[in-house]
Structure 1
Amino acid sequence: MPRRLDPDEAALWKRVAATVTPIARRPVVPVPTTPPTVKPPAPRPRLAAPPAAARTPAPLPPPRRTHSAATLDGHWDRRLRKGLVRPDMSIDLHGHTLASAQALLEESLHRALLRGARVLLVVAGRLRPGADRLPQMHGDPRPRGAIRASLPDWLAFSAFADQIVALRPAHISHGGAGAVYVILRRSRDD
């Protein structure tokens, strides 16, 4: 359902609409009932094409990891759903631009891996339906929910993507729909 315009926006829209002149309608040309007879063009002699140089295919981008679909053992998933897992670290991305939020996420992942953390709680706000498709409005730096919508892509293409095991929604006690758990791979020296 589209949102309604507030009174200021409605007044602005009326002023803009008043400055527009409609496009003149073109008369409809009737379609002839019998198609005109067209003589087919004479075939042109074919020229031999020069041999094509062998092209090397463009390199493929690295495969995208989907951490949301990654499987954990049932014990981990049950404990996460019930809120029994306490995050080792947490970061809050509220109030950041997309660029600064992504930089903070990368830095926090690096710090978490250095500390040997297993669960990083990322508070990013609720994901708004269609947040990634909303146009950017004047005066609004980004659509609502854009950071939360970008999280899976940022994590998939992160320098630490191979160290991320899974991405799960947070329990209500840790932020609910406005936060996610990033499950990190256990370090080998443990």
Structure 2
Amino acid sequence: MVRRHLSSDEQALWTALTRSVRPLRPGARASALPAVPVKPRMETGLTTAPAQPALTPPARTPSTILDSGWERRIRSGNMAPDMAIDLHGHSLAAAHARLNQALAAAWARDARVLLVVTGKPPKTGSAGGGARRGAIRGEIGHWLETSSYADRIASVRIAHQRHGGEGALYVILRRKK
């Protein structure tokens, strides 16, 4: 495989990235690529420096697996939600706003488990000409990922049958530090 050289923009991005990384072992060797000075590029007779991307630390994402105590309580249905919100009958915009309000209230009250009732997902293969069913259920994952409380969510799980089964979710919040 033939190696190609990095363009000045790619080199600037690489340099910015390597400056933001901390080694796992403090004695680890430095980057194998030599630092190349970034040359300004010419645009309409004016020199401009290449745009530096804003580097932000990666957000914590919800876990797919919790510890055995949580897993056992979810499977057996012995979990008692601290708060619950029902999004049935709301428009997408209203449901999104109510979800954000519920997350804020749950965080303020130190709640650990928020039960979000969305309604059952539409059955596959059903021919229906009316309004689209399951729209809130389809959007809730995106809403939780983009919420200002996304880094405070430990896990999102389908609720036990006694709390709504596939028509509801447990949003498990992290502890405050």
Secondary structure of the corresponding residue to residue 183 of structure 1? strand
SS at match of 2:175: coil
Question: Percent of pairs identical after alignment?
Answer: 50
| Per-residue deviation, residues 124-165 of structure 1 (Å, max 9, x unmatched) | 0112367xxxxxx7x73xx21110111111111101111111
**TM-score for both structures, normalised by structure 1:** 0.60
RMSD (CA atoms): 2.6
CA deviation after TM superposition for structure 1 residue 66, in Å = 4.9
Match of 1:47 in 2: none
Instruction: Number of aligned residue pairs: give it.
Output: 129
Residue 120 (structure 1) aligns with:
114
The correspondence for 1:175, drawn from 139, 164, 169, is: 164
Q: Which has the larger radius of gyration?
A: 1
Describe the SS at the equivalent of 1:120. strand
Unmatched segments (≥5 aa) in structure 1:
1-49, 131-136
Q: Which residue of 1 aligns with 2:51?
A: 56
* CA offsets 1:16-73 (integer angstroms, 9 cap, x no match): xxxxxxxxxxxxxxxxxxxxxxxxxxxxxxxxxx956654266589867653x53310
1:84 aligns with 2:78: yes
The AA in structure 1 aligned to 2:67 is: D
1:166 maps onto 2:166 in alignment: no
- Match of 2:115, SS state, is strand
In the alignment, structure 2 segments of 5+ residues that lack a partner are 1-40
- The AA in structure 2 aligned to 1:179 is A
Give 3-state SS (helix, strand or coil) of 1:121's partner.
strand
Change (3 A) 1:151 1:66: farther
Q: Residue 122 of structure 1 contacts residue 179 of structure 1 at CA under 8 Å; is this kept in 2?
A: yes
2:146 is matched with 157
Taking structure 1 as reference, are residues 88 and 99 closer, same or farther at Cα in structure 2, changes over 3 Å only? same
CA contact (8 A) 2:61 2:153 kept: no
The aligned residue for residue 38 of structure 2 is: none
CA distance in 2, matches of 1:90, 1:59: 37
